[in-house]
Amino acid sequence: MAISIKKARIPFYPNLKDNLHCFQSALKMVFAVFENKFYSYTYLDQITGYKKNNLTWDTTALLFLAENGYTVIKISTFDYPAFASEGTSYLKKFWRSDVYTTQAKFSNFQRERRIVTRLIKDKRIRLKIRKPTLALVSAYLQEGWLAIAHIDVSILDNTKNYSPHSIVITDVRPTRVSFHDPGLPPEENRSVSRKAFDQALRIGEVILIKKPGALKKHLSHRGT
């Protein structure tokens, strides 16, 4: 029988005060489950390619995960081969103008294009170009995968400005979705309506992560 997400007991870690480490916090939660290790933010910065005052793309981390025995699926409407081929012209077509402006201000597009060129050649990482849905994600969670979602959290916070954010989904129910929100402000097992979360997810992205044998070993170690 597959081990479900509910039995994984995902630890919670908050964002740092700079409000730029939500993705690192999400990875810290994932590693705590699969490896029973608690990595420092200095180390997480290294494996994610974090640069001070910049947004963190997940590309470097995806390569790290694949290189370290994880099975990785990325679900997104973002076309990585198109970005590798067309560069910023693709980004301008794909993103809304406010999204492009924010990303251009806090990202290094040339660097990310080089990394994406490596990413699309790595057969260990499955890139699925489609809209992520809760129905799809929920099926993976029941099979022992963990899910990091990249969303525009302004949709859930009812604010106007685009706000890219990473969270870890902890439970999916018929009417509610719970997730560890690193913040700021941090909120463990934050709960929102399924309708609202699905709206945010459909224009977001999901990283599905699994390490064969690791979750079962970890749960056995914890006496579950």
pLDDT in tens, 75-94: 999 999 999 999 999 999 99
pLDDT higher than threshold 50 for residue 223: no
pLDDT exceeds cutoff 90 at 147: yes
pLDDT score at 5: 53
Residue given tokens 């997810």 in the structure block:
201
Q: Give domain status of residue 114, yes or no.
A: yes
Of 7-11, 45-49, 172-176, 189-193, the least confident: 7-11
Identify the domain containing residue 34 by its residue range: 5-145+207-221
Q: How many domains does the chain have?
A: 1
CA atoms within 13 A on the CB side of 49: 17
User: Is the model's pLDDT at 8 over the cut of 60?
Assistant: no
One-letter amino acid at 212 equals: P
Distance of alpha carbon 72 from the chain centroid? 11
Q: Is 186 within a domain?
A: no
Residue 19: inside a domain:
yes
Q: Quick one: average pLDDT of 83-108? A: 96
Give me the chain's average pLDDT, please. 90
Q: Kindly state the tokens that stand for 9.
A: 């007991």
Domain membership flag for residue 152: no
Cross-strand pairs, 205: 150
Residue 198 lies in a domain: no
Confidence of residue 158 (pLDDT cuts 50, 70, 90): confident
Neighbours of 173 (CB within 10 A): 10
Does the residue 160 lie in any domain?
no
Average pLDDT over residues 14-35: 95
Has this prediction a pTM greater than 0.85? yes
The SS3 of residue 90 is: helix
Residue 140, domain member (yes or no): yes
Whether 104 is in a domain gets the answer yes
SS3 181: strand
pLDDT category of residue 222 using cuts at 50, 70 and 90: very low
